[in-house]
């Protein structure tokens, strides 16, 4: 299967590229993104045939359906990394918490967040391709808190790979920050930037598109790629676990085959829910995708009105920081799927140049066939954490936003799966505020220990070890200095 560009072709880049090329070199014509030329058609009984499959077996068969140009041995080697999760056969369990409500727990990997589900195998595949080609790559990652630790973990000490991770100083939890700044891989560089996640992501996109930056890297025979969800190598692995959600409900006898379900996804950069959108279009019986946002409710406004307007918006720092985003990269892939390359280019250029785009009424109605959206504030989030722990389930503040969508957006009495994208350990001060119903400023270590002891909550050793680990990356820089710092890192490595 080949990949094409969301904004059309400029006559310079290839019209189509294979999967390996799309993930190694994600920069496309006119600043767009790569998407599959067409989604694979799965046989009618695909879901039933996988009721007794392991996650790895399911993932392998979906990847094979995409006909990616990766050797079978390398695919299996990448998927074997799921053996390092808490449960080797079920790396992301689907847990029933109410009669019609299930939580898909995506945080059972090495960095305790959902990004491990995609970045563990993606990193293995990208590294193996680079080594096989005898090419050196610089991998850029911009993070609001979860992509960074997962990318650094998967690429640590990999041959032919160097990684630079950008995070907004003060815009992540302490645990997320420590997971990055304590990494000791010789091929890793972590840079705090004075700004927010949108600044970090814009810097990444600008570098991917920069001819002068690429020429600078070429002096050292280094090519450029990315670990963010602008790279379809991330997205392809984010499709798989939505199939798993449906199969697990079938396996648990909660639904019958063909019965539709709701999926509720907390969303900032729209990659996770994009994977669900692709799964729906590949045949998973999904009634609708319910998008949960925090007070940076740009996605809610877009889905409900067809207008994406960031002209007068300032990013709000919330208790669900991984969703503190105003410019969501992956809406572009949805727009392309629904309206084609020409319209995508028009809308994205309006957003880049005018900081606003407006879809027509017909286009907005088409979008609403697939998505509904709502947002919640921090007060709702903390009260929800308390409410659910009182009934026996401990969740993080991002998961809590999903409950607003579950309570208010469902139009039919169907089973619902919400996505828990991070373990409570990554946001323990917020969780403890919720449980104690106060606004006391807790240190992460203090909050982790109290929750673990008082509520008998599991505290992974990897999280405990962070507080005695050596800090290896302490640099915080201005946005204007990012490129020069990266070049210095390359030259010193």
Instruction: Give me the residue spans of the domains in the chain.
Output: 81-112+233-468
Is the distance from CB of 150 to CB of 434 less than 8 angstroms? no
- What are 307-352's pLDDT values in tens digits? 999 999 999 999 999 999 999 999 999 999 999 999 999 999 999 9
Pair of tokens at residue 119: 């970045």
Nearest of 471, 464, 468, 447 to residue 180 by alpha carbon:
471
**Sign (positive/negative) of CA torsion 190, 191, 197, 200?**
negative
CA distance 135 to 94: 40
Element at 45 (helix H, strand E): none
CA distance 351 to 343: 12
Which of the residue ranges 35-39, 41-45, 370-374 would you say has the lowest mean pLDDT?
Answer: 41-45
Mean pLDDT of 357-386: 98
Angle formed at CA 250 by CA 244 and CA 256, multiple of 5 degrees: 135
How far the first Cα of the chain sits from its last, in Å, is 36
DSSP codes, 350-409: HHHHHSEEE--HHHHHHHHTTEEEEE--HHHHHHHHHHHHHTT----HHHHHHHHHHHHT
HSE, CB side, 13 Å, CA atoms: give it for residue 286: 30
Angle between helices 378-390 and 428-436 (to 10 degrees): 70
Contacts of 122 (CB under 8 A, 6+ apart): 23, 78, 154, 227, 231, 233, 234, 237
Phi/psi of residue 10, nearest 5 degrees: -90, 5
Element at 134 (helix H, strand E): none
Report the pLDDT value the prediction gives residue 491, as an integer from 0 to 100. 85
pTM of the predicted protein model: 0.95
**Sign (positive/negative) of CA torsion 378, 380, 385, 386?**
positive
**DSSP conformation class of 82:** G
Residues making up the chain, counted from first to last: 493
Report the pLDDT value the prediction gives residue 7, as an integer from 0 to 100. 98
HSE, CB side, 13 Å, CA atoms: give it for residue 474: 3
At residue 228 the predicted structure's pLDDT band, cuts being 50, 70 and 90, is confident
Report the pLDDT value the prediction gives residue 414, as an integer from 0 to 100. 98
- What are 436-491's pLDDT values in tens digits? 999 999 999 999 999 999 999 999 999 999 999 999 999 999 999 999 999 999 98
Nearest of 189, 150, 196, 190 to residue 170 by alpha carbon:
196
At residue 216 the predicted structure's pLDDT band, cuts being 50, 70 and 90, is very high
Report the pLDDT value the prediction gives residue 378, as an integer from 0 to 100. 97
Report the pLDDT value the prediction gives residue 492, as an integer from 0 to 100. 82
Report the pLDDT value the prediction gives residue 70, as an integer from 0 to 100. 97
Assign domain 81-112+233-468 to its CATH architecture.
3-Layer(aba) Sandwich (3.40)
Report the pLDDT value the prediction gives residue 205, as an integer from 0 to 100. 87
- What are 191-210's pLDDT values in tens digits? 999 999 889 988 998 998 89
At residue 41 the predicted structure's pLDDT band, cuts being 50, 70 and 90, is confident
CA distance 276 to 243: 8
How high does pLDDT run on average in the chain? 96
Report the pLDDT value the prediction gives residue 381, as an integer from 0 to 100. 97
Report the pLDDT value the prediction gives residue 44, as an integer from 0 to 100. 86
CA distance 465 to 111: 12
Q: Which residues sit opposite 139 in a β-bridge?
A: 163, 225
Contacts of 456 (CB under 8 A, 6+ apart): none
Is the distance from CB of 160 to CB of 131 less than 8 angstroms? yes
Dihedral angle of Cα 276, 281, 286, 290, to the nearest 10 degrees: 40
Is the distance from CB of 217 to CB of 139 less than 8 angstroms? no
Neighbours of 28 (CB within 10 A): 25
Nearest of 211, 185, 151, 295 to residue 31 by alpha carbon:
211
Q: How far is CA 289 from CA 138, 280, 415, 418, in A?
A: 35, 9, 13, 10
Answer yes or no: is pLDDT of 425 > 80. Answer: yes
- What are 129-148's pLDDT values in tens digits? 999 999 999 999 999 889 99
Mean pLDDT of 411-439: 97
CA distance 187 to 174: 23
Contacts of 65 (CB under 8 A, 6+ apart): 40, 42
- What are 274-305's pLDDT values in tens digits? 999 999 999 999 999 999 999 999 999 999 99
Q: How far is CA 297 from CA 5, 272, 309, 364, 377, in A?
A: 28, 17, 11, 17, 10
Mean pLDDT of 385-390: 96
**DSSP conformation class of 311:** T
Helical H segments across 134-258, by residue range: 147-155, 174-181, 197-209, 211-218, 232-251
Answer yes or no: is pLDDT of 306 > 80. Answer: yes
Mean pLDDT of 110-115: 96
Answer yes or no: is pLDDT of 375 > 90. Answer: yes
Answer yes or no: is pLDDT of 365 > 80. Answer: yes
Is the distance from CB of 18 to CB of 3 less than 8 angstroms? yes
Give percent of the chain with pLDDT exceeding 90.
93
């Amino acid at each position: 299967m080949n990949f094409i560009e969301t904004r059309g072709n400029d006559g310079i880049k290839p019209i189509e590229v294979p999967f390996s090329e799309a993930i190694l070199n994600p920069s496309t014509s006119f600043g767009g993104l790569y998407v599959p030329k067409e989604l694979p058609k799965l046989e009618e009984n695909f879901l039933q045939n996988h009721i007794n499959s392991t996650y790895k077996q399911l993932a392998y068969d979906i990847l094979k359906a995409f006909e990616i140009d990766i050797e079978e041995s390398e695919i299996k080697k990448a998927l074997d990394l799921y053996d390092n999760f808490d449960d080797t056969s079920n790396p992301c369990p689907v847990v029933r918490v109410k009669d019609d409500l299930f939580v898909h727990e995506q945080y059972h990997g090495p960095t305790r967040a959902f990004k491990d589900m995609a970045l563990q195998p993606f990193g293995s595949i990208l590294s193996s391709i680079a080594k096989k080609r005898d090419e050196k790559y610089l991998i850029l990652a911009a993070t609001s808190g979860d992509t960074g630790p997962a990318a650094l973990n998967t690429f640590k000490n990999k041959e032919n790979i160097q990684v630079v991770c950008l995070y907004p100083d003060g815009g992540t939890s302490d645990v997320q920050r420590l997971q990055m700044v304590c990494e000791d891989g010789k091929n890793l560089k972590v840079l705090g930037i004075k700004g927010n996640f949108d600044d970090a992501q814009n810097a990444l996109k600008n570098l991917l598109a920069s001819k002068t930056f690429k020429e600078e890297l070429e002096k050292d025979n280094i090519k450029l790629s990315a670990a963010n969800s602008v790279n379809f190598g991330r997205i392809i692995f984010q499709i798989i676990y939505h199939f798993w959600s449906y199969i697990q409900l079938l396996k648990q006898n909660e639904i019958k085959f063909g019965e539709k379900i709701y999926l509720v996804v907390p969303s900032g950069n729209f990659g996770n829910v994009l994977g669900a959108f692709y799964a729906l279009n590949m045949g998973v019986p999904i009634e609708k995708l319910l998008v949960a946002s925090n007070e940076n409710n740009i996605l809610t406004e877009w889905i409900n009105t067809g207008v994406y307007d960031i002209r007068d918006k300032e990013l709000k720092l919330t208790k669900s920081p991984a969703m503190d985003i105003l410019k969501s990269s992956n809406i572009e892939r949805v727009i392309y799927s629904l309206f084609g390359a020409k319209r995508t280019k028009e809308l994205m250029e309006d957003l880049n140049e005018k900081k606003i785009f407006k879809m027509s009424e017909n286009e907005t109605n088409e979008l609403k066939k697939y998505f509904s959206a709502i947002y919640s504030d921090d007060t709702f989030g903390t009260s929800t954490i308390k409410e659910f722990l009182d009934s026996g389930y401990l969740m993080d503040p991002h998961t809590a936003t999903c409950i607003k969508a579950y309570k208010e957006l469902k139009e039919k009495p169907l089973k619902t799966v919400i996505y828990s994208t991070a373990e409570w350990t990554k946001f323990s001060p917020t969780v403890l505020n919720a449980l104690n119903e106060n606004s006391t400023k807790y240190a992460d270590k203090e909050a982790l220990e109290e929750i673990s002891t008082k509520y008998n909550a599991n505290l992974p050793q990897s999280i405990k070890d962070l507080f005695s680990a050596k800090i290896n990356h302490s640099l915080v820089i201005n946005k204007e200095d990012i490129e020069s710092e990266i070049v210095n890192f390359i030259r010193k490595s």
